[in-house]
Structure 1
Amino acid sequence: MKAIKIVKEGRVEIADIPQPTIKDGHVLLKIDYVGFCGSDLNTFRGLNPLVQLPVIPGHEIGATVVELGTNVGPDIKIGNRVTVNPYSNCGICTACKNNRPNACRYNETMGVQRDGAMTEYLVVPIQRVIMGGQLSSKELALVEPMSVGFHAVDRANVTDSDIVLVLGCGMIGVGAIVRSALRGAIVIAVDVSKEKLELAKSLGATFTINSAEEDLAASLDILTHAMGADVVIEAVGRKETYLAAVDAAAYTGRVIYIGYAKEAIPFDTQFFVKKELDIRGSRNATAKDFAAVMHYLKMKKCPMEQLITGVYRVEDAQLALESWLSDPGRVFRLLIEF
């Protein structure tokens, strides 16, 4: 069967690998769509320290069940559309014992620490399969990245009395905007792309700030009467946004970091103390977050055509990543169709 492999920096190859065989407690999936995410782009750029090349990327999955192993239970049927929880967990580390398996110390995410889903077929343990209901395979391929943003909002305990500043309006930032708006918060979206900010507004952002054209601190002061944001969600992973998050947070505010910064960052830590900030990381997503995203998508209020920037054939995976790299501000999600 065909598989997409990132074999070295800047190079994708289409490999022919054996089709996996069904196992006890597993199901065989025919992959329909898989999304390229920011971690895949960083792998392609040679900037993902968690990846050892070559690797099969992909963990944003829309698929169809084509074969059932033994002991999978009666609820899943051949022909069901599904997505997949792409994370692993050990069950014995402190995160797992604290019922937060999304942050497992030994997690191996598909397409990052282990081979991913950009193959024609995939065998998956039944525990990782999430039934798609009436959602299409394209919609299901958007569930995982949006769930990461949903999880950050949960980590921040966002309520309808909060002002939430979201730094970065890619797919994960979009997830944070949507869920914050669903909870009734005032949402301020920040990005350097006019197109992304327009979409953020349509998805529930009350205000937008183009940080390439406006002074972020001055604009935020106007919108918050110089009080700052109750919650700041960083969904970029750059030094500038990591530092801006602390500056933008209100006294006793909550700062949530999703993005992985690629360098050491020198903080002026006095503001951690003076503002008595709650600073939290947000990693991956939980089953509850997946369910919340799927409930939102079932409402059919999500502008799918705007979130999916392009759909590419397997043979054009190299072109897909090159096009994203050449104009990152334009791209929300690129899907590979199998």
Structure 2
Amino acid sequence: MKAIQLAQPKHFQKIDIEEPAPPGPGQAVVRTHRMGICGTDYSGYLGKMPFFSYPRIPGHELGVEVLEVGDDVTNVKPGDRCSVEPYMNCGECYACRKGQGNCCEKLNVIGVMVDGGLCEKFLIRADKLHTSETLTFEQLALVETLGIGCHACDRGAPQEGDHVLIIGAGPIGLATLEFTRLTGATITVMDMVESRLQFCRDTYGVPHTIQFKGDGSELEQIAEITNGDKYAVVTDATGHNGSMSNALQYVAHTGSLVYVGITTAEISFPHPALHKPEMTIKGSRNALPSDFTRIIRLIEDGTINTDPWITHRTSFDDVIDQFETFTKPESGVIKAVIEVA
């Protein structure tokens, strides 16, 4: 059975793997139809993702078809189209007992810590499958990315009328934007790449965008936008330690800073930058099962339109040749999707 493996940073290879075993209790065999490529995949490819191990079959943003289920499985059946919740939590640790398996102490994310869906078929826990009767496999492959933004927005908890800053207009920043706009907050997006900011203005009507130049000029624009108050919520989706360190200076007194991007480098700031405004700093990791259910319904009813997101597509056979291109900002990639089957 065909699969693509990331043997080491910057080195993909096609491999043959065994057919999945028949599904046991609580399991299902699924066929991968579509895989979204996200920042985690790019970071894994570049050797910059702290949770990534090698060799690894990537693939955690997945639209799949159920082929076979174990005897006791009732939530899905053969033929169902599903989005995959890729977070394999233990169910027993402190976080899991609190209902927050997204940050399980023993968490294995498929396609990151264990092999994922860039293959023909694989075995998975059936409770990690979320069905839709109407969404395409391509739409279902985007649900996980949207889940990251949904959870990040909930961590910041902006209120109607708040000024909110999203730093980084890649897929995770855009996913955070999708849900922040539903809160009624006034949004500013900041990025270094003007074409990404233009996408935010054209697609979402974002009222304020700032092109970061590294010269401090963004501070004057922020003061003008917020009437000197700064932002009630700042979410940094860059995964860049410099940006994450600088982000504190954009937060209003009593405001919150959410880190949803991940870096292997140190983040540093003077303690008064945190203490003086009585700032709250939060991490945001993965998403919750309820986020998947909510997102599928929002796409189904048209509240979220995924069509503008997908700017690039590639086939299973061409992905090794094209993947390097997708890592470059000048490619204009917002979201690339692999057509696996």
Short-chain TM bin: over 0.9
Which residue of 295, 316, 335 corresponds with 1:314?
316
Q: Is the CA contact 1:14–1:315 (under 8 Å) kept in the aligned structure 2?
A: no
- Contact 1:146 1:175 (8 Å CA) reproduced: yes
218-227 vs 238-247, greater mean Cα deviation: 238-247
CA shift at 1:41, angstroms?
Answer: 1.1
C-alpha distance in 1, partners of 2:63/2:34?
5
Question: Which structure 2 segments of 5+ residues have no match?
Answer: none
What corresponds to 2:171 in structure 1? 171
Q: Distance in 2 between matches of 1:279 and 1:43?
A: 26
**AA matched with 2:258:** I
Of 268, 292, 315, the residue aligned with 1:290 is: 292
| TM-score relative to the length of structure 1 | 0.95
Judge conservation of contact 1:320–1:334 (CA < 8 Å) in 2: no
> What is residue 77 of structure 1 aligned with on the other side?
77
Paired residues for 1:99-248 under 5 Å: 99-201=99-201, 202-203=203-204, 205-212=206-213, 215-248=217-250
Once residues 329 and 265 of structure 1 are traced to their aligned partners in structure 2, the CA distance between those partners, rounded to angstroms, is 29
Distance across 2 between alignment mates of 1:140 and 1:199: 22
Query: 1:260 offset after TM fit, Å?
Result: 1.0
Equivalent pairs, count: 337
Per-residue deviation, residues 30-72 of structure 1 (Å, max 9, x unmatched)? 1100112111111211222322211000100001112222110
Q: Secondary structure of 2:318's partner?
A: helix
Q: Which amino acid aligns with 2:333?
A: V
Structure 1 unaligned regions, length at least 5: none
Aligned residue for 1:70, secondary structure, equals coil
| Separation in 2, partners of 1:117, 1:46 | 20
Partner of residue 45, structure 2: 44
> What is the SS of the residue equivalent to 1:315?
coil
Corresponding residue SS for 2:152? helix
**Aligned residue for 1:60?**
61
Pairwise mapping of residues 232-271 of structure 1 onto structure 2 (< 5 A)?
Answer: 232-271=234-273
Equivalent residue of 2:265, what SS? Answer: coil
Q: 1:329 to 1:303 in 2, by over 3 A?
A: farther
- SS state of the match for residue 306, structure 1? helix
Task: Report the TM-score, using the length of structure 2 for normalisation.
Answer: 0.94
Closer/same/farther in 2, CA of residues 298 and 331 from structure 1, 3 Å limit: same
How far, CA to CA, are the matches of 1:276 and 1:104 in structure 2? 29
SS of match in other structure, 2:35: strand
Residue 318 of structure 1: how far off its partner (Å): 1.7
- Asked if the contact 1:181–1:204 (Cα under 8 Å) also holds between the matched residues in 2, the reply is no
Shift of 1:264: 1.1
In the aligned structure 2, how far is the partner of 1:152 from the partner of 1:325?
Answer: 23
Counterpart Cα distance in 1 of 2:91 and 2:78:
29
Corresponding letter in the other structure for 1:322: E
